[in-house]
Amino acid sequence: MNFAVLSVIFFTALFASAAASAQRGLSSGPSGDRPSAPSDTRMAQQQGASLDPGELFRDCDNCAELVVVPPGDFMMGSNDTPYEKPEHLISIRKPFAIGRREVTFAEWDPCADAGACKVRPEDHGWGRGDRPVINVSWEDAKLYVAWLSQKTGQKYRLPSEAEWEYAARAGTRTPFWWGREAGAGHAQCDGCGSPIKQQVVPTGSFRPNGFGLYDTSGNAAEWVEDCWNDSYRNAPKDASPWTSGDCRLRVLRGGNFLSKASDVRSSARFRYDVDVRYYANGFRVVRELP
């Protein structure tokens, strides 16, 4: 068994044991305060250049909490809809750091204060703080990662669609990272047994997946870098973003609080206009590692 597979198995077991508290286009936990950041989340400068898979870190006090995802191979897509076909093998050749949570209002607002982000999005009266920022377009998200890169001196960007699915699956092959059925109490969506309906809830309201990521299913749909294509035919063979196709539409992953359970599967994908804001769309970030 190679090292990448061992890494996936190890970190899946490690994180799974941890306790923690209408999409346009292809429509075919309880609320509460976010748990406190774990004591092993450190500032990157305290750790030097070496960051190991599974490590948690931040680049600044109000930067996203990041988790280092190990390299490995996975089968991307599914046979459930034409948009998810064909299944294809993707190799993640080096570790990368991804936001453990969706970007929150508390993390977005300093960008608006600095004038780098052009909008201070409405929260629909649900609250700001640790809830995922919504009402942001793909273009807005690109401004945020550019600002964060300048602020920290690190390379922040949106994940590619392949990186997103790899991180969301966390070594699993089932429709949901927690199993074959949606069940109840795993995600914020329509049909997921969520006690509070029809709104986003604070990030981290449900337990994380095997890599330690919260809310990869439901809550806010997440922008990725890729242009929209109707299937994976001729998609990149590696984890790079697909930058050809209909680039006025960009891909969203994970579904949202309005989505049916079938639309929060790890392979489910959607599209939206790059410049349109919607009250169920948000994003998470990737930070490249040396």
Task: Tell me the pLDDT tens digit for each residue of 114-170.
Answer: 999 999 999 999 999 999 999 999 999 999 999 999 999 999 999 999 999 999 999
Q: What are phi and psi of 82, to 5 degrees?
A: -60, -30
Q: What confidence score (pLDDT) does residue 196 get?
A: 84
d(CA 256, CA 61): 27
Instruction: Look up residue 90 and give its two tokens.
Output: 């993707």
Going by DSSP bridges, is the β-strand pair 56-58/42-43 parallel, antiparallel, or unpaired? parallel
- Please check the confidence at residue 16 and state whether its pLDDT lies above 50: no
Average pLDDT, the chain: 88
Cα–Cα separations (whole angstroms), residue 169 to 15, 32, 126, 173, 288? 13, 25, 29, 7, 20
Instruction: Look up residue 83 and give its two tokens.
Output: 């948009």
pLDDT band at 38 (very low <50, low <70, confident <90, very high): very low
pTM of this prediction?
0.86
